[in-house]
Amino acid sequence: MAKKISVLLFGITRDIVGQDSVMCALPQGSRVGDLLDTLKQQYPRLGDIRSLLVAVNSEYAEADTILSSKDEVALIPPVSGG
C-alpha cells in the first residue's frame, strides 16, 4: 500500500524542483531516509546540495523517522539566515 507525502520546498530545492511543494509516493512504513532517496532519484540535482535535511511537523527529523501522510514534511537545504 503506497502513501502520498506532500513535501514543502524552500530555497534551492524549490528552484530545482520548480514548485513550492512536491507529492512523493512511498510504500507504507517509509522513513525520512527513503523519502530523501526517492526525491534525489527523481531530481538528481538535489544530490549536489551541501546537506539536505528533512523537517517533520516543523521539527528536524532523523533519517529513521517513519512518515505518515498526515505529517507536514519539508526539505531543509543549508540555512543562511541572519
Partner 1 sequence: MIAITTDPIDYSSAYRYLQTGEAGAIDFFFGIVRNKTSEQAVDRLEYEAYDNMAIKEMQKIADEACRRWNVLNYVIVHRKGTLLIGEIAVLIGVATPHRADAFDACRYIIDTIKQTVPIWKKEVFKNGEVWVNAHP
- Residues in contact with partner 1 by CB under 8 A are 8, 10-12, 14-15, 48-50, 55, 58-60, 74, 76-82
Q: How far is the CB of 63 from partner 1 (least distance, A)?
A: 18
Nearer to partner 1, 15 or 27 (CB): 15
Q: How far is the CB of 13 from partner 1 (least distance, A)?
A: 9
Query: Based on C-alpha coordinates, what's the Rg of the chain?
Result: 12
Q: How far is the CB of 27 from partner 1 (least distance, A)?
A: 26
User: In whole angstroms, what is the distance from residue 63 CA to residue 33 CA?
Assistant: 4
Residue 48 carries which side chain, given as an amino acid letter? D
Return phi, psi of residue 48, to 5°.
Answer: -80, -15
